[in-house]
Amino acid sequence: QVHPVESGGGLVQAGGSLKLSCAASGRTFSGYAMAWFRQALGKEREFVATISGRIIYYAESVQGRFTISRDNFKNTVALQMNSLKPGATAVYYCAANVNLRRDYVSGEAWDYWGQGTQVTVSS
């Protein structure tokens, strides 16, 4: 099992950057698929990015602006967010699963979730 804990959220102006981090306990972290999701107020949770081994996928809405990475020695996964837009305001969640399922864009494909960190982008 892994237990994700997010950090790094905050307030940033539109066009700015922010880096989120997710620390996940567990001796087998390196074998887990990891992902970031977000949920804006009043909206459904949506997929942002995932990384599993050398496989990386992004949501079309963040492609080219967000970068997901992981450090298996530190058991962390990061999300670098550049050129942020007000529409990116949401609670960002880190998720983990023992493998990368085909339905990875669905929250149901992920077994372990963090508590989330708030990102607010001001216009």
Q: Which amino acid, 90?
A: A
Range scoring the smallest mean pLDDT among 18-27, 31-40, 111-120:
18-27
The dihedral over CA atoms of 107, 118, 89, 93, expressed in degrees to the nearest 10, equals -20
Residue 13, Cβ density class (10 Å: 0-12 exposed, 13-18 middle, ≥19 buried): exposed
pLDDT > 90: percent of the chain: 93
Structure tokens at 18: 């922010």
Residue closest to 8 by CA, chosen among 97, 101, 120, 111: 120
Residue-level pLDDT at 1: 83
Residue 110: count other Cβ atoms within 10 Å of its Cβ: 23
Percent of the chain scoring above 70 in pLDDT: 100
